[in-house]
């Protein structure tokens, strides 16, 4: 039997001068040890253009890390903060455009925005102006997120409970549960994530 491993990368949210560009991935098997190099992705190295052009939209919530060292300056300088807000306004406009052209759905867009707000509020805790200016713009950390509301509106209570029960038993894959219940894989994955919270 041949098992194919997917391409792997490690994402670093914060990097320093000593942060390497790759790390060694070691797999210990009964038949021996296999090792290979895995590239390290550094969030700070990706510009907004890179993120949108390469469709690395999952990096958007962590984009704020590229500004982390400038938080003291943004917090005390309204003009600098306005520039950061303009950058995040551009992110929102670009997400709106992707949604309008059908490249992402409303659910995905809301999830990216909410996660961005959550990350900003977490790492900018000491910087009130940054947290309020950008965090509030990105909708902030919500207890009942809009993404969850959209999902719950789209899935009947019966299907939702059936999916949760199937996930709990752990005998079927997410793909199989989605097919059996007529749900999307994304909906089942979100329910799996909610179940583990």
| Model pLDDT, residue 147 | 53
Q: Given the structure tokens 């907004």, which residue do they identify?
A: 48
Tokens standing for residue 118 = 């959550």
- Best CA proximity match to 10, nearest among 36, 41, 37, 35: 41
Q: Report domain extents, the chain.
A: 10-42, 46-146, 155-196
150 neighbors 106 (Cβ within 8 angstroms)? yes
**CA 25 – CA 105 distance, rounded (Å):** 35
- pLDDT tens readout for residues 32-76: 999 999 999 999 889 999 999 999 999 999 999 999 999 999 999
Spatial CB neighbours of 25, under 8 Å, sequence gap ≥ 6: 8, 35, 36, 37, 38
- Kindly report whether the global pTM for this prediction surpasses the value 0.85: no
Angle subtended at Cα 119 by Cα 109 and Cα 6, rounded to the nearest 5 degrees: 70
| Model pLDDT, residue 142 | 39
Residues of the chain with pLDDT under 70: 139-155, 194-197
| Model pLDDT, residue 20 | 93
**CA 109 – CA 92 distance, rounded (Å):** 9
Tokens standing for residue 23 = 């790390």
| Model pLDDT, residue 40 | 93
| Model pLDDT, residue 193 | 73
182: left (phi over 0), alpha (psi -120 to 50) or beta: left
| Model pLDDT, residue 111 | 87
């Amino acid at each position: 039997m041949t098992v194919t491993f997917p391409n792997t990368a490690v994402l670093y949210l914060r990097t320093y001068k000593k942060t390497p560009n790759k790390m060694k991935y070691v797999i210990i098997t009964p038949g021996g040890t296999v090792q290979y190099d895995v590239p390290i992705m550094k969030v700070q190295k990706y510009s907004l253009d890179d993120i949108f052009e390469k469709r690395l939209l999952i990096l958007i919530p962590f984009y704020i890390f590229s500004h982390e060292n400038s938080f003291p300056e943004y917090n005390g300088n309204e003009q600098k903060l306005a520039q950061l807000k303009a950058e995040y306004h551009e992110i929102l406009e670009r997400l709106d455009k992707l949604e309008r052209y059908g490249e992402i759905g409303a659910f995905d867009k809301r999830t990216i925005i909410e996660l961005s707000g959550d990350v900003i509020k977490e790492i900018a805790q000491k910087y009130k102006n940054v947290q309020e200016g950008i965090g509030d713009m990105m909708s902030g950390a919500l207890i009942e997120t809009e993404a969850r509301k959209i999902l719950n509106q789209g899935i009947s209570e019966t299907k939702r409970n059936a999916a949760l029960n199937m996930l709990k038993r752990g005998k079927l894959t997410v793909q199989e549960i989605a097919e059996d219940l007529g749900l999307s894989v994304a909906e089942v994955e979100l329910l799996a994530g909610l179940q583990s919270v």
